[in-house]
Amino acid sequence: MWRIILYSWRIEMFDKIIVVSEVSNASSEMVKCVKSLRSLGAEECLLIQCFNPQDIDAGVSSYLTSVFNENLKNQSAMLAEQGFKVKTQIISGNIKNEINRIAQEDQYSLIVVGAENHSIVGSLFLGGIAYDILYGSTKPILLIKDTNQDQSIDDTKELMRHILFPTDFSENADIAFEKVKEMVENGVKKVTIFHIQDESKINPYLLHRLVEFNEVDNGRLQKLKDELISLNEVEVEIQIRYGAPTAEIIKLVDKEKIPLIVMGTQGRGFIKEIFLGSVSHNIVRHASASVLLIPGNRE
């Protein structure tokens, strides 16, 4: 009985998603990657095209509207073929606020957006929107990267093949780990749990305690590993490194060609993280992998 209740709960993990579209080949590739979310319970999809009439004159506006409609038609057909129930919408105005409003009011559980801008009209529309949406969102956000890693096409599209979970053992990381557990229950094949001993905080005054820190944190990582293994058949690897967190995460992603990073963000919003130069913000900007950002508790 308990397993039935658990399954019923987890199927709603990302049941309704918003996909932010643009007119580009990269966006079409992003839409193909969305298929991976079906394994996490995604069933309904709102495909949104962003349009800011203030950036263009009236003559161009009508032409681009027809371009947008054709783009939405093609991409919604791709999503329907993947098994999604698809709605489409063109929005204008304050785009980041509008997307977050729709996500809240209509109870969407995830916002998906391309993190790289290769749009033929990108400077007018989605330049920066991928990051703007992050700033005020209380919903998880999946930023799908247009990656050129040496992977087969199938591997590139299968985001859930291997996920990296970097943790600093903070409250935000604990919240993100709950999502990792749900993903494992839904069939993620491999998880690497990664902790970086931050060189800037340890060197030079605490360097003599590094071995001690590693022993304590290895025990913490092992407990997280045991939790995941108890949920499903999954390969779990734990790693500890010493250095700069962002650099070490990027090196591991590139070395093992990990398609997806799952990590927590600041509870009060992403703007604060930019000024703090946070790890999550830097990873979004510089990592080659796609990133699933889980917001902490927000007021």
Q: Which fold has domain 2-144?
A: Rossmann fold (3.40.50)
**Topology of the domain comprising 153-295:** Rossmann fold (3.40.50)
Average pLDDT over residues 209-223: 98
- Give pTM, 2 decimals: 0.86
The closest of 108, 104, 109, 144 to 22, measured between CA atoms, is 144
Model confidence at 13, pLDDT cuts 50, 70, 90, reads: confident
User: What confidence score (pLDDT) does residue 275 get?
Assistant: 39
Q: Which amino acid is at 136?
A: G
| CATH 3.40.50.620 boundaries in the chain | 2-144, 153-295
Q: Return contacts of 203-209, CB within 8 angstroms, 24+ apart.
A: none
CB 222 within 8 A of CB 169: no
Residue type for 223, please? K
Assess whether pLDDT exceeds 50 at residue 239.
yes
Q: What pLDDT shows up at residue 236?
A: 98
Angle CA(83)–CA(89)–CA(94) in degrees, nearest 5? 130
Cα 164 from Cα 261, distance rounded (Å)? 5
Q: 46 and 98 in contact (C-beta within 8 Å)?
A: no
Task: Work out the mean pLDDT of the chain and round it to a whole number.
Answer: 82
Asked if 183 and 163 count as a contact pair (C-beta separation under 8 A), the reply is yes
CB atoms closer than 10 angstroms to residue 23: 20
Q: Is 57 exposed, middle or buried (0-12, 13-18, 19+ CB in 10 A)?
A: exposed
119: left (phi over 0), alpha (psi -120 to 50) or beta: beta
**What does the pLDDT average to over 203-229?**
97
CA nearest 234: which of 194, 192, 190? 190
Decide if pLDDT at 140 tops 70. yes
Residue 117 has pLDDT above 50, yes or no: no
- Which residue type does 30 have? M
Query: How far apart, in whole angstroms, are the C-alpha atoms of residue 72 and residue 5?
Result: 37
Could you tell me if 167 and 224 are in contact, meaning their C-beta atoms sit under 8 angstroms apart? yes
Q: What is the CA radius of gyration of the chain?
A: 20
Alpha-carbon distance of 190 to 164, in angstroms, equals 9
Q: What is the mean pLDDT of residues 137-160?
A: 68
CB 133 within 8 A of CB 141: yes
